[in-house]
Every structure is written in structure tokens, then in C-alpha cells.
Amino acid sequence: MTEPDHVMVRIRERGHGYAAIVWCKCGHSEGGFDRAKVVAQLYKHTIDANRPACPTPKKSQYGSEQEALNALSKFLQRARPGARPTRTYKCPSGRHWHTTSQPASKVA
């Protein structure tokens, strides 16, 4: 098993617990006035960072399924022959949504 690249490696509390800064092994840091929140933010970073990278970064990315569906309905109004996106799927990176004209079974 390999060591994770994103783990909380350091925490520093300043003042009388007013502010806290935490560091990830990759150098990413989170700071704030609520230690629990700061730790939670760093934890979120480690979750995001450990997700696979987007395999299709050149494709349009939508922040939510609804945005992707809105984009689909725009395509439907296009009176041009040829393939067009027919469905939405969540990116394997887990960070956004894409549209595709491929049948569901062809997209991992």
C-alpha cells in the first residue's frame, strides 16, 4: 500500500485558540477561526485531491446535473444532423458533470 499524498501533517493554533492553520502533505493549507471548520476543510481537500483527475478536461464541465441538463436542452433545439449529447453523467473525478452522446455502457 502506498502512502497517501494528501494527509493532514501539521496543525498550528495561534493566539488563544482563535485561529488555526492546518497543512496537507502536498503543501495545501487551510486557515480560519474555527478549528473544527478548518480541519473539516482540509479533510474535504484530501477527499477531492484523492479523486481521479478528469479524464476529459477538454469537455464542457457543468457544476451540477441540472446545469448539464440545461445544456442538453439547448442542443436539442439545434436543427443540425449529426450526433449530439443525449445524456448527462457525473465525471469520474466526481467534481462536475459532462454531457455525452455515447450510450451509457460506453462511458466508465
| Residue (19 or 54) nearer to Zn ion, CB | 54
Q: Residues 58 to 87: which contact Zn ion by CB under 5 A?
A: none
Joined together, the cell numbers standing for residue 53 give 483527475
For 3-96, list the strands marked E by DSSP: 8-14, 19-24, 29-32, 87-90
Q: Compute the least distance from the CB of residue 4 to Zn ion, in Å.
A: 9
In 3-state terms the chain splits into helix, strand, coil percentages (rounded to 5) of 30, 25, 50
28 is a contact residue toward Zn ion (CB under 5 A):
yes
- Name which of 16 and 106 has its Cβ closer to Zn ion: 106
Q: Closest CB to Zn ion among 17 and 60? A: 60
